[in-house]
Amino acid sequence: MAQRPDVIIIGAGLAGLSAARTLQARGVPSLIFEASDRIGGRVATDLVDGFRIDRGFQVLLDSYPEARRGLDLAALDLRPFAPGALLHRGGGRFGRIGDPLRAPLDGVRSLTSGAFTLGDAIRVLGLRAASATAHDAPMRSEGPTTLETLRARGFSAQAIEAFFRPFFGGVFLDRELTPARPWFDFLFGMFATGRATLPSEGMQAIPAQLASALPSGHLRRESPVRRLHDRAVELESGEVIEAETIILATDGTAAARLLPELSAPAWSGCVTLSYATPDAPITTRHLALKAPDDPGPVNHVCVPSVVAPSYAPAGRHLVSATIIGTPGDDDIALDRASRTQLGEWFGASAIERWQLLKVSHVPFSLPRTLVGESAAATAVRRATGLYACGDHLETPSINGAMRSGRRAADAVLADLAARR
């Protein structure tokens, strides 16, 4: 590549890769500078003793509009979770919640799950019908919180505490359910009309696919940017590279450091403990949720190797247990507390056979701030020749990161065309 590229992109996360791919499709090359030794940003998969361990609990909703637009979903070989969830009811007993339209028997079981009254079940059907029309993610945060919305819609405290708080608390990484109603409505619609999935090669397959469309030599890893200049970037090494167009595609905290006019977001974090076991404690493709009165740290558990067998070596299973937040306990204490709690779920003798593979601390999992509509509409253009993107400027999700990157690239293409 020439020393002076057409476009410089800072960051090889989903936003930066989506921007680069959009530009490449229109014949505009770019050069990406990535601070770390890998692509994907917060979407990552580690290989440990033959197990695929995603960093933090992550899934891809195949109904996401941007995933359908920008990814080859068939090539990712997506493996779906079962719709619904298992609710721990104490003493190793679980109730099951299911989608009555896709799994009628599970829908009936929902009434005996310990979560929903008959009135709640009817309200879920109404909520499903209303949210199924949401075809694109919102870009505004005004309105009541998710918790206020559920109460206003008449859901019982039982339904909120037994299902919505652990399930959507796990999605938001916020058990207080503070995200605003438009984001909840959109996500509920995505779950209702699509599937939560795992790529068979792990979540890292998503950025790998985006990067595969880029020509060789258009990505420089381990090249952190120290500061921005007018039409140039300065690397930590001191090297200065000029370009007419720069796209800032880092996470929100790094973006605010490089461009102080941006506000660094607050973050939601999590800790995921990954265990190897000869026997799957959950033999269905469901997520298991903690009971309202469960004092243990784990919010939800799944067995990724049941969903996608390629996540574990033959004859073994991978268990993923997720804690919401960033507890200060060390890994030994977290493991001990989690085993005590999950021994109540699956039996102490079964837990004794679990081998701890990895404790993934992800304090910067999701930006908490959703920007307002007018700010998001203009966020990609920051100055002449300078653009910004990332899920901190839209919605905290894979969909938000990819769409923001595409929107930044579209703005670049429009401005280039206007100058010709």
Q: Helix (H, G, I), strand (E, B), or coil: what is residue 171? A: helix
User: Would you say residue 288 has pLDDT above 90?
Assistant: yes
Which pLDDT band holds residue 116 (cuts at 50, 70, 90)?
confident
**Could you tell me which residue, 120 or 135, shows the higher pLDDT?**
120
> Is residue 262 packed enough to be buried (19+ CB in 10 Å), middle (13-18) or exposed (0-12)?
buried
Segment 290-306, tens digit of pLDDT = 999 999 999 999 999 99
Report DSSP state, residue 80. Answer: E
Segment 166-216, tens digit of pLDDT = 999 999 999 999 999 889 999 999 998 899 999 999 999 999 999 999 999
What pLDDT, on a 0 to 100 scale, did the predictor assign at position 321? Answer: 98
What pLDDT, on a 0 to 100 scale, did the predictor assign at position 377? Answer: 44
User: Would you say residue 12 has pLDDT above 90?
Assistant: yes
- Cα–Cα dist 75/71, whole Å: 9
- Cα–Cα dist 149/88, whole Å: 25
The helix or strand, by DSSP H or E, that contains position 215, with its residue range, turns out to be: none
- Cα–Cα dist 100/83, whole Å: 10
What pLDDT, on a 0 to 100 scale, did the predictor assign at position 133? Answer: 63
Percent over 70 (pLDDT), the chain: 92
Q: Where are the beta strands (DSSP E) in 116-231?
A: 196-199, 219-220, 225-229
User: Would you say residue 17 has pLDDT above 50?
Assistant: yes
User: Would you say residue 34 has pLDDT above 80?
Assistant: yes
- Cα–Cα dist 4/244, whole Å: 9
- Number of H helices and E strands in the chain, helices first, is 15, 21
What pLDDT, on a 0 to 100 scale, did the predictor assign at position 7? Answer: 97
Percent over 90 (pLDDT), the chain: 77
Report whether 221 contacts 235 (CB < 8 A).
Answer: no
Segment 359-373, tens digit of pLDDT = 999 999 999 865 444
Report whether 219 contacts 32 (CB < 8 A).
Answer: yes
User: Would you say residue 101 has pLDDT above 90?
Assistant: no
Report whether 361 contacts 299 (CB < 8 A).
Answer: no
Q: Is 227 left (phi over 0), alpha (psi -120 to 50) or beta?
A: beta
Segment 245-274, tens digit of pLDDT = 999 999 999 999 999 989 899 999 999 999
What pLDDT, on a 0 to 100 scale, did the predictor assign at position 374? Answer: 47
Q: What is the mean pLDDT of the chain?
A: 91
Segment 128-149, tens digit of pLDDT = 877 766 666 776 667 899 999 9
Q: How many CA atoms lie within 13 A of 237 on its CB side?
A: 10
Burial 10-36 (b: 16+ CB within 10 A, else e): bbbbbbbbbbbbbbbeeebbbbbbbbe
What pLDDT, on a 0 to 100 scale, did the predictor assign at position 129? Answer: 77
Q: How many CA atoms lie within 13 A of 299 on its CB side?
A: 27
